[in-house]
Structure 1
Amino acid sequence: MNHFNIPTYDILSFEREIGNGVTNPLLMRTQHDLYVVKTIDHKEEPKVLINELVCYKLAKLLDIPIPDVAVVNISQHIIQSTPKLIELGVQPGKHFGSKFVSKAQPNLQPPMLRIATNLEDIPSIILFDQIIYNDDRTTNRGNLLFDLKQKRLLAIDHSHVFKIGALWDEVQLKRIHEEGICLIKEFHGHNYKVLLKYVNGNNPFNKVLQKVSELTIAAIEWCVSDIPDEWGLTDGERGVMIEFIWYRIENVAEILKLLKDQCPDWKGGDLSGF
């Protein structure tokens, strides 16, 4: 996929709290559509928004099924006219929005996958999680959606990635990087128990590996570019994030070896190119 611009929309109104996930996202209306918005407020730090935007861009390059996103601008006027936003301490300015999927079911269950039209994306999601070190996907029942209209599995919620979520800084991410390659912890949590039966056959990762092979360091630099200034990403943090992601991409072969031991229905296949 070619590089693309992330749109910026103005928030017109607050609809309700979503009530799903640690970050307590908000359903808000823009001039184009409804978005699930993660904000900078009393509770959440800008790193949550940085993680989401960077991982979205990487997901699109790897053809991971994920809702479209936008940077959304919340004005002081909207905040002052909305008691809930005042209560939450939402700051005026740019925040992260993921397009609302109106007919969708969280809490993934096996019957949903029996009618899913994109089962071939399951290995892609699992490998993507290892690249971004997304511990949250295995046990958090709210960060996979099943689109009931399209009958597609969607990956959402990438705030708690890079092993320690929004707590990372330049020093911490360097330390995690130096620990070497490993899989996410609690690999056999609820969601992965449901997903792993679809990592089967001889070459289940072929689709995503083709996309991985097309990545360059310039593509990762693009993923970490154009972060809104008010989110506070420093040049040093940008650099270590690029190094972290690129190192894990360069070591996909090692990740695949570790995955092979955890995926009993994966029969093998030629991985000599990775």
Structure 2
Amino acid sequence: MFRAVEYIGPVGLGATSPQLFRAENSHGDSKVCVVKLSANRLGAKVLVNELLAAQFGCWLNLCFPPGGLIKISSEVLAGSRRLTAAGVLPGWHFGCEYLKGAGYVTKFNLHRAVNKEQMAGVMLFDHLFHNPDRTENRKNLLIRKEQDGYKIYAIDNSHLFRRGKWTIEMLKQLTDSITLNHRRSYGVLLKYYLKPTHFFKYVQIVKNIKDAELSEFMESIPGEWLPDLGERQALQEFITARRDKVDWVMRRLTDLIPNINRSANIH
């Protein structure tokens, strides 16, 4: 959870027109955050999607930048003519830490990453929640040189449920389906670097998520983001159903791994 203390400016990329703010986390540490505003042109449901991803990122220890709710006060908004003119309202928005110095993952630098096995969890998440945007948008996988080597980060989860702006009927249709994604970086990871065993620990964590934990997550979604109680119930039912199908999702994914690499120790 963050508290915005200063508006910096627009990021310049993305359908949700993300903005940069300086913020403080619950420990008082200052961070620069990429913020998606509740009044973005795709609607508040993409913030629900981002919050869902942030929660699963914590549960599964995924390589998502730390993110969550960010409170923006009327005082901070009043300091920006841009935000005032845009009619941005004070309250809860979604923010995640800005990754300074990161570049885009390509076929030329993917092999450098020291956390390629962590991408098994990201791929599992994307297939549980129907996120095709990780490879359709080449800017949603970043790589950054850090103290222990180059690290991949997966960003931008607004397009869960195929296109972000979901309905109850869409959730029902997506509950029992899967669209396998083995394009670009995902194809390379499956062909050369990942084995079925890399997915096992993430599957077990998902299976161990309790109904009470899912209910607690649903309660954390700001009321103004998802005011319809029917949609809240449908979303919780979808998440529960997908949790219970995680073995099936994993099998469909790992079937894409060539037999020659299933027991190979490739790094």
Q: Normalization by structure 2: what TM-score?
A: 0.85
Counterparts of 2:13 and 2:168, CA distance in 1: 29
Structure 2 residue 191 is matched with structure 1 residue 209: no
Counterparts of 1:206 and 1:246, CA distance in 2: 19
- After the TM superposition, which of the residue ranges 193-202 and 203-212 deviates more from structure 2? 193-202
Identical aligned pairs, as a percentage? 32
Q: Deviations over 1:31-78 (max 9, x none)?
A: 421110000226241111111111210121122111111322222333
Task: Report the counterpart of residue 80 of structure 1 in structure 2.
Answer: 78
Structure 2 residue 254 is matched with structure 1 residue 260: yes
Map 1:185-196 → 2, pairs under 5 A: 187-196=181-190
Maintained 8 Å contact 2:74/2:90: yes
Give the number of aligned pairs.
Answer: 256
Task: Report the counterpart of residue 16 of structure 2 in structure 1.
Answer: 23
Structure 2 residue 234 is matched with structure 1 residue 240: yes
Give how far 1:20 is off. 2.2
Structure 2 residue 11 is matched with structure 1 residue 12: no
Counterparts of 2:258 and 2:217, CA distance in 1: 33
Maintained 8 Å contact 1:133/1:163: yes
Give how far 1:108 is off. 1.1
Maintained 8 Å contact 1:183/1:258: no
Question: Which of residues 31, 34, 37 in structure 2 aligns to 1:36?
Answer: 34
Maintained 8 Å contact 2:2/2:23: no
Give how far 1:21 is off. 2.1
Maintained 8 Å contact 1:42/1:90: no
4+ residue runs over 6 A deviation: none
Q: 1:98 to 1:198 in 2, by over 3 A?
A: farther
Unaligned runs of 5+ residues in structure 1 are 1-6, 270-274
Give how far 1:87 is off. 4.0
Give how far 1:126 is off. 0.8
- After the TM superposition, which of the residue ranges 39-48 and 115-124 deviates more from structure 2? 39-48
Task: Report the counterpart of residue 151 of structure 2 in structure 1.
Answer: 152
Counterparts of 1:247 and 1:148, CA distance in 2: 38
Question: Which of residues 51, 54, 64 in structure 2 aligns to 1:66?
Answer: 64
Counterparts of 2:260 and 2:84, CA distance in 1: 51
Q: 1:68 to 1:202 in 2, by over 3 A?
A: closer
- After the TM superposition, which of the residue ranges 152-161 and 199-208 deviates more from structure 2? 199-208
Maintained 8 Å contact 1:68/1:98: yes
Maintained 8 Å contact 2:60/2:206: yes
**Residue aligned with 2:109, SS:** helix
Instruction: Specify the code of the residue in structure 2 equivalent to 1:27.
Output: L
Q: 1:216 to 1:109 in 2, by over 3 A?
A: same
Counterparts of 2:196 and 2:2, CA distance in 1: 42
Q: 1:51 to 1:200 in 2, by over 3 A?
A: closer
Q: Normalization by structure 1: what TM-score?
A: 0.83
Task: Report the counterpart of residue 249 of structure 1 in structure 2.
Answer: 243
Task: Report the counterpart of residue 52 of structure 2 in structure 1.
Answer: 54
Maintained 8 Å contact 1:183/1:255: no
Task: Report the counterpart of residue 110 of structure 2 in structure 1.
Answer: 113
Q: 1:26 to 1:240 in 2, by over 3 A?
A: same
Q: Deviations over 1:92-151 (max 9, x none)?
A: 21111101121211x311343322221211211111111111121121112222132252
Maintained 8 Å contact 2:116/2:189: no
Task: Report the counterpart of residue 179 of structure 2 in structure 1.
Answer: 183
Instruction: Specify the code of the residue in structure 2 equivalent to 1:244.
Output: F
